[in-house]
Amino acid sequence: RKGSKPFTDSFARMSDTRVVTLSRQNYSVVSRETKEWVKYWSENMAKT
C-alpha cells in the first residue's frame, strides 16, 4: 500500500507535464491563427 505512493506521484507529475505541453501547443496554434486573422482583418479594413 505504502509502496504505491511514489508511482501515483510520478504518474500525476507525468500527466501534469502532458497537460502543460498540450496547452502550450494549443496556445501557439491559437496565437498563430489570431495573427493570421488580424492580418486578414486589417487587410480587409484597408480595402474599405
Q: How far is CA 45 from CA 9, 32, 34, 38, in A?
A: 53, 20, 16, 10
| Alpha helix stretches (DSSP H) within the chain | 5-47
43/48 Cα distance (integer angstroms) = 9
Q: Is the pLDDT of residue 1 over 60?
A: no
Rounded-to-integer distance, Cα 21 and Cα 15, Å: 10
pLDDT tens by residue, 19-29: 777 777 777 88
pTM of the model: 0.39
Average of per-residue pLDDT values in the chain? 79
Confidence of residue 41 (pLDDT cuts 50, 70, 90): very high
pLDDT of residue 3: 61
